[in-house]
Structure 1
Amino acid sequence: MTLADTEAELAEHGRIGYGRYGSASPIVLGALIVVVVAAIGIASLRDRLDGASVNGVQEGTRIAPPIELTLLDGAAWRLSDHRGKVVVLNFWASWCEPCKQEMPAFQQVAARGGTADLEVLGVGAKLDRDEDVRSFVRQYGVTYAIGRDLGGDDRGRGTIERDYGVIGYPATFFISPDGTISAVVMGAIEVDRLQTYIDAART
């Protein structure tokens, strides 16, 4: 085969892939890269949690980092004040579609659980505008504690997100009464599964 024949073959079938599917190969490769990067990020988060399970219930060994923030109603909220309770910590953003899907589940669980041994805290993204956060809360009828993570020097990520290693929204941390992280869920969660994690954190 001559050089001209080789060039003609490459022109017809593509340098990556073959035939009509050759042009799709870079897209496939790009998708694979995204999947690999996401997997590395989740694995890194799993390592940082020192025993907490991503998308699985497992007894944690790491004490949850301290949290201090101001709620939308102006009240101060501290994680240390809720020692002895199960704390459900949910990171979300008003533009996040999975966050919108799961918000009614958190409201239902918070209303069902009362305040005796359960505390639900929603932490709004630093990049969100205050009016968007408040509109979101009104739209979904949220009555549990909501604050914003505005600390730190990072323009895109607050201090609490940094301390908990949050890499995307939504992200939910289940903190046991003894203060350890019992489980972590990345992505939207439905009400029955949410209750399962809460029950596991109580034991």
Structure 2
Amino acid sequence: MLLSLTVAVIVLTGCRGGTSDDPPVHLNRNMDTQEKYTAQRASGFFADGKAMRTPPEGTVARGQLREDPIYFTGKDAGGVYVPAIPFEVDEAALKRGAERFGIYCSPCHGFTGDGKGKIMEYKYPIPPTNLYEQRIYDMADGNIFEVISNGVRNMPSYREQIPVRDRWCIVAHVRTLQTKGTPVPSTTVAAPAPTADAAQSTPTNSTETAQ
């Protein structure tokens, strides 16, 4: 008996590292094998041969039912920017906002928000906005949230990179920075000179407000 067990162990040990084109043996299937269609698979049931179907009209993906316009857009039902962040701003929210600001906003606006971020070391032609400008103080929190979400002028949208709550946390951090500074006059920056081709169709007196 002992000899048989020894031989069996040696044989099984020799199988380690071996490869096979055969599917593995499932002693307990545990629903590993299911009769279902996965993404991008073909189907003979539908006329177009596709297993993936267009959702019925009105379908909302799980977690995507955005019934609160204030929280998700920064505007109320009438389309007016909300004056304040729509949740209680605690220490955790402020910490999160500072962290996200450092990652996504500081390369342009600088860690202190003065508009002298890393890109200005390379003589970026249109300076980022100094967040201490009076017009930024005067903006509603919902307006700042929308700018982060959708971008403005030469500032891109960060809707995909930054979750909704984190965008609001960044707004809170901007307001915190502003409490430590003094408002400065708002400025505008002339747009870069147009190319020869563009000059024929672009007015020469055009200007562009800083991001």
The structure carrying a bigger strand percent of its residues is 1
Q: Greater CA radius of gyration, 1 or 2?
A: 2
After TM superposition, the score normalised by the length of structure 1 is 0.27
The structure carrying a bigger helix percent of its residues is 1
